[in-house]
Each structure stands twice: as C-alpha cells, then as structure tokens.
C-alpha cells in the first residue's frame, strides 16, 4: 500500500521518461533472431522487458545489460539451444504473443507460461493464424490460454486479414513469416503501432508496407545492428495529462517517441484544450522522437473512437481521469480491447474513479464521463495493472484528500522510477508565485 499525498501541487520542469516498452521488447527479440551483435540504448529496464531478456538467455542468446544499455550477441534463431525449463513471460502480453510467433518458426520445442493475469488473456488471436501457417501449438482450451507448448517447425506463408487491430497479432505473424516458405501478407482495418515493421527494415528483412498491408518474405537471414529506444509516450501520457489538468503546470518531455501510430494522446490533449508544443522532432533511421511541452488549458469534453483507438489504446485509463476534469460529456467507444488488457480496464477504471467521486459509467466498448467533478480521497486498487496504478497516483494530485494505492509495485512493469519523477515534477503551487 502506498499513500500519495500532495497538497495541490503544480507540475513543472523537464522529464525524460524511460524507454518505450514495445520498442524495447522488439529490439531484444530481433537482436536474438539476427546473427551477430545488436547494441540497444535507452532500453526499458521494467519487469515486462526483463522477462523477454530472460527468455532469450534461456534459449542460449548472450545478453549483457548495464542499466538501459543492452548488448545482444546471438548465433541467430537457427542456433538457439533447447531451454532447460519453461519460458516464463510474467505479466507481459507482448512477450507471450510475439514469442509464440518467433518460436513457431524456430527448431525449438518449449513451454510458454505466464502469471495469473496473463494466463487469463486470450492467445487464440495469435495461435489460430499461426496454426494456419503450420505451427504446432498445444494447450488448453483450443490453444487460447497459457501454458502453451510450441514445437517449432516448417511454416508456410499466409495472407491474413486481421479481425482486431492489434500490433501484437500483426507482429507475431510477421515474426513467423520471417521463417515461413513464401511471402506472408497481413492486412489491417486500421493501422496499429508499426514498430515491428520499422525495426525489421533496420535488421535487413525483406519487408514491404503498402497502406494497411504489410508483407514479409521468408528465409532471409537478419544481421545485428544498433537500436536507439526513445522514451515511452505511453508513460509520458500520465504526466502530460497531469500537466494538462492542473492550472499553472507545464512539463517538457525530452527524447520522447513521436511515432504517428502512437501519438493519439497528443491529438486528444489538443482537442480537449491543453497546450501541446512539439519543440523538436528528429526523424532518422528507425523511430521518430523529439521534445514535447504540455501545459495546462481549460479542458472540454471530446469523443474518442474509431481509428484513433489503436493510436492511444494504452492511454485510455489516464484519458478517463482527464475527462473527469473537462467540461461536458466525454465518450470513449470502439475500445472493447480494453476488456482483455492486464485487467479489464473498463471495469477497473470506472470502479476506481467512481470511488473518488467521478461521474463515469462503463459501456460494452468504452466509458462515458461527465465533467468536471471534484475528486475526493480514498483507497484505490491497481488490480496489479501498472496503468491503473499510475492513473490512481495522478488522481491523487487533484484529489481533495489523500489517496492510498493498493499494489503500487506493479507500476515498475513499465515505469520504474515513476514516483521519483513525480516527486521531481510536483512543486508546491506557491513556489512559482
Ligand atoms: C503492444 C500492443 C498493444 C498494447 C500493448 C503493447 C505491442 O496491444 O496495448 O501494451 O507492443 O505490440 P494489442 O496488440 O493487444 O492491441
């Protein structure tokens, strides 16, 4: 239990949030699939990404880590060794789903497991298309839940139309496609994050992107390279939202990822009336990143739906809190995927925000929030979900009474150092006059 008490602070100053979780996972994965050395800087040393490192070490890949600098030295996927035990993905959906795609095309037989939360999350969105490619995956019920046994082997390319907008599914199939016979093509209805596509190009894969379609040719050997991981915009989103809600606040985010498939939060902040300035943007090899300043603005309600959803899926818990401070009714829809995240985020966010006085209701595929409402204090649970935990901590900044957070440790999954950065940014309101 952690008690967060702030006496009406404002947020000011600069912050460099930790590395992007999605990109960190992929850098270790592709570094391990590739032959030779890969140097990663800015790696996220959070729980989820450390699980990915552990799995590849078990497969015989040499991975040295000094803080956020990681060196991967791999014989390439064909040279991996049989693991001596199960491969444990912990709480990490990205690790589990992407590993299924990678292992399917290797020559390794292994058992993939996860923690209690991950063992309830659906895997058949990945195991079904992988089985169509010829993967041998066994586990119950119908290959939908961990633990799953994967016997890597011969795969054949497929042409797959994705029923859900999910970068995890897309990436798992692309990874399997790297080792399949023929060219694998995936079509999405709306574009989900494209980190895998960008990084595959960096590692020398034969990949083509054409609008909502991406194709990868099987059989090419990848070679190690350098990967620079920018700060995670999904982590920055918590302090961006705090700065937008608290009068007098202004925070500058250095070295933050600005991949357009991830910047939906900036669009929403602008639409709601916050001040968002891109002070610098670098668009080189790999991922775009830059410096962003977010300052308070009088907030108004908005609608969040359709193609915007995949561009801010992980930000919806903090956006719900933001909407409690906006004038009018905010509607979030088309976000049924929230029900199968680390926890059911629609149920968790509505239940916790209601406890402190928010006017919020759950719908099947989103939330409806009426604002503005004053928030009171109380005990909130994180449900073991890092993003719900961070939402509760930011709520404490604007609540009239202290907020206690049950199970705050889970925040280290994506943002180790979150409370230190919060302490650094939060200043007594009278400090700046
Ligand atoms: C991720 C994709 C998203 C996101 C998750 C990370 C990724 O999940 O919510 O936190 O790294 O590919 P879905 O693919 O299930 O939408």
DSSP sequence for 253-273: EEEEE--TTTTHHHHHHHHHT
Over range 212-216, report the average pLDDT.
97
| CA 40 – CA 27 distance, rounded (Å) | 7
Percentage of the chain lying above the pLDDT 90 cut = 94
Cβ atoms of 193 and 7 within 8 Å: the answer is no
Q: What is the pLDDT of residue 17?
A: 98
pLDDT in tens, 38-78: 999 999 999 999 999 999 999 999 999 999 999 999 999 99
pLDDT at 433: 39
* Atom 10 (ligand 1) nearest CA: 314
- Contact (CB, 8 A) for 187 and 162: yes
CB atoms within 10 A of CB 156: 12
**Cβ(22) – ligand 1 distance below 6 Å:** yes
Domains and CATH numbers, the chain: 2-19+230-432 (3.65.10.10), 21-228 (3.65.10.10)
- Taking the centre of ligand 1 as the mean of its atom positions, its distance from the CA of residue 427, in whole angstroms, is 34
Cα 94 to ligand 1 centroid, rounded to whole Å: 6
Ligand 1 and 23: CB distance under 6 A: no
Under the banding of pLDDT at 50, 70 and 90, the label for residue 4 is confident
Instruction: Classify 88 as helix, strand or coil.
Output: strand
- Cα 178 to ligand 1 centre (Å): 20
CA distance 147 to 194: 28
Q: Is 232 in the pocket of ligand 1 (CB under 6 A)?
A: no
User: Which pLDDT score, from 0 to 100, does residue 430 have?
Assistant: 64
Residue nearest atom 13 of ligand 1, based on CA coordinates: 166
Query: What is the tens place of the pLDDT at every residue in 71-87?
Result: 999 999 999 999 999 99
Mean of pLDDT values over 345-357: 98
What pLDDT, in 10s, does the model give residues 138-151?
A: 997 888 999 999 99
| CB of 167 shorter than 6 A to ligand 1 | yes
In the block, which residue shows the tokens 């080189």? 284
Please, are residues 138 and 148 in contact by the beta-carbon 8 Å criterion?
yes
* Tens-digit pLDDT profile for residues 246-305: 999 999 999 999 999 999 999 999 999 999 999 999 998 899 999 999 999 999 999 999
Residue 380's H or E segment, with its range, is: strand 378-381
Cβ of 166 less than 6 Å from ligand 1: yes
Say if residue 432's pLDDT is above 60.
no
Q: Is 74 in the pocket of ligand 1 (CB under 6 A)?
A: no
The single residue listed with the structure tokens 């099947």 is 364
Q: Find the 21 Cα to ligand 1 centroid distance in Å.
A: 10
Confidence at residue 84, expressed as pLDDT on a 0 to 100 scale: 95
Is 362:337 a contact under the CB 8 Å cutoff? Answer: no
What's the burial of 5, exposed, middle or buried (CB within 10 Å: 0-12/13-18/19+)? exposed
Q: Which residue is listed with tokens 């391990």?
A: 32
Number of other CB atoms surrounding residue 332 within 10 Å:
26
Q: How is residue 17 annotated by DSSP?
A: P
Residues tagged active-site:
314
For ligand 1, atom 9: residue with the closest CA: 314
Residues 6+ apart with CB under 8 A from 210: none
């Amino acid at each position: 239990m952690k008690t967060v008490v702030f006496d009406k602070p404002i947020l000011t100053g600069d912050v460099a949030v930790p590395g992007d979780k999605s990109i960190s996972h992929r850098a270790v994965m592709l570094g391990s699939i590739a032959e030779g050395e890969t140097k990663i800087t800015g790696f996220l040393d959070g729980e989820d990404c450390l699980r990915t490192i552990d799995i590849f070490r078990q497969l015989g890949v040499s991975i040295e880590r000094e803080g956020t600098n990681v060196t991967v030295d791999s014989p390439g996927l064909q040279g991996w060794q049989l693991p001596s035990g199960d491969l444990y993905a912990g709480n990490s959906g990205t690790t589990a789903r992407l590993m299924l795609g990678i292992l399917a095309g290797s020559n390794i037989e292994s058992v993939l497991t996860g923690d209690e939360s991950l063992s309830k999350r659906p895997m058949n969105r990945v195991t079904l298309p992988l089985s169509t490619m010829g993967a041998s995956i066994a586990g119950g019920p119908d290959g939908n839940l961990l633990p799953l046994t994967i016997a890597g082997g011969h795969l054949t390319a497929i042409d797959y139309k994705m029923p859900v907008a999910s970068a995890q599914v897309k990436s798992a199939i692309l990874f399997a496609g790297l080792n399949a016979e023929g060219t694998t093509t995936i079509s999405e209805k709306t574009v989900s994050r494209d980190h895998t596509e960008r990084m595959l190009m960096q590692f020398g894969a034969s990949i083509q992107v054409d609008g909502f379609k991406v194709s990868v040719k099987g059989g090419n050997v990848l070679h190690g390279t350098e990967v620079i991981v920018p700060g995670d915009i999904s982590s920055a989103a918590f302090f961006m939202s705090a700065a937008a809600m608290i009068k007098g606040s202004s925070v500058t985010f250095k070295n933050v990822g600005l991949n357009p498939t991830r910047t939906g939060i900036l669009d929403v902040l602008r639409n709601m009336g916050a001040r968002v300035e891109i002070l610098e943007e670098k668009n080189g090899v790999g991922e775009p990143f830059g410096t962003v300043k977010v300052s308070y603005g009088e907030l108004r309600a908005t609608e969040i739906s359709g193609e915007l959803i995949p561009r801010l899926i992980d930000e919806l818990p903090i956006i719900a809190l933001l909407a409690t401070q906006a004038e009018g009714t905010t509607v979030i829809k088309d976000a049924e995927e929230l029900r199968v995240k680390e926890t059911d985020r629609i149920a968790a966010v509505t239940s916790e925000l209601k406890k402190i006085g928010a006017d919020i209701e759950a719908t099947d595929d989103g939330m409806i929030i009426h604002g503005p409402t004053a928030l009171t204090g109380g005990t909130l649970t994180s449900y073991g979900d890092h993003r719900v935990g961070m939402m509760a901590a930011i709520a404490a900044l604007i609540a009239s009474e202290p907020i206690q957070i049950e199970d705050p440790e889970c925040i280290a999954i994506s943002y180790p150092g979150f409370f230190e950065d919060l302490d650094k940014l939060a200043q007594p309101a009278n400090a700046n006059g």
